[in-house]
Amino acid sequence: MKRIRVRQHVNPLSKQHLVSITLPDWSTVYQNPKQPLHLDLGCARGKFILQMAKSNPTINFLGVEIREVLVKEALQARDDLQLTNLHYLSGNINYSVAELLFSLPLEVLHWISVQFPDPWFKNKHIKRRMLQPELIKALVKYLSDDGMFFIQSDVFEVAKEMSRYLQDNCDLQLLNQDVNPFPVATERELGVLRKGEPVYRATFGKQF
C-alpha cells in the first residue's frame, strides 16, 4: 500500500481537536464485542495492534489516533486482512476518554498501552503531552482487576513523567520495569532499537 505523508505533530489542544470522537456500535465492529480488549493510545499507523490482532483472535484491539489520515490507512489495512477483532478510532483521547470508555461493554478493558507518545520538549508545550493524570484516572476506573497498563518511551524525561503519574494513581502498582510484555514492537520502537538507543519501559497493574 502507498505510504501517506502526514504532518508529524498535531497540537491536541487546538480548537479543531477539541471535539468528541464519533463512537461506533461495538456489536457492528467486533465479531465478539465481549472479548478482552487491548486499547493502544496514540497508535499512529496502527501496525502494532494489527500484528497483535492477527495472532490473538480471542482479544479485541482498539487504536486511538488523533491524525485522521493515519486512521483511514489503518482501517483499510484491517479490511484488506478481514480482521474482525481490530478497530481504529480517529480523535483526541484526552477529550473523549470518558465517552469512549462508557460506550464499551462492561469489564472488557484488560490492556492499555501508551508507546512513544509525542514528547513535546518545550516547557510551554508540556501540557500537550497525552498521558496526563486525569486521563490515567479515567482509564484505570475501567481497567479490569487483572488488567495491565504499559508505557514506553525513548525519551527518559517523558518515561519518568509517565511512570510518576501512574505511580501517583493510588489504584495502580508497578509490576516491572524495562520489560516489554508484548511480542510485537511498534514502528517507533523498531526505529529506536535499530539505532541501538535505549527504551524506558514500565508495566503497572491494579492495586489491591
Residue labelled with grid coordinates 520502537: 189
Is residue 153 within the footprint of ligand SAM (CB under 6 A)?
no
Instruction: Give me the amino acid identity at 62.
Output: L
Nearer to ligand SAM, 10 or 23 (CB): 10
The SS3 call for residue 22 is coil
* E strand or H helix that includes residue 40: strand 37-41
**Residue 116 sits in the site that holds ligand SAM (CB under 6 A):** yes
Query: Which of 21, 30, 39, 42 contacts ligand SAM by CB under 6 A?
Result: 42
Give min distance, CB of 32 to ligand SAM, in A. Answer: 25
Residue 165 Cα to chain centre, angstroms: 16
Active-site positions? 118
Residues in the chain, how many? 208
Nearest distance, CB of residue 64 and ligand SAM, angstroms:
5
What are 44's three cell numbers?
499512529
Kindly tell me which of 51 and 107 has the beta carbon lying closer to ligand SAM: 51
- Going residue by residue from 164 to 193, which x/- string records binding to ligand SAM, judged by CB under 6 A? ----------------------xxxx----
Size of site (CB under 6 A) for ligand SAM = 21
Residue 67 or 110 with smaller CB distance to ligand SAM:
67
Q: Report the C-alpha gap between 157 and 176 in whole angstroms.
A: 18
* Interior angle at CA 194, CA 188 and CA 200, nearest 5: 60
List Cα–Cα distances, 141 to 10, 145, 176, 199, in angstroms.
27, 10, 21, 28
43: contact with ligand SAM by CB under 6 A: yes
Positions touching ligand SAM (CB under 6 A) are 10, 12, 42-44, 64-67, 92-94, 115-118, 130, 186-189
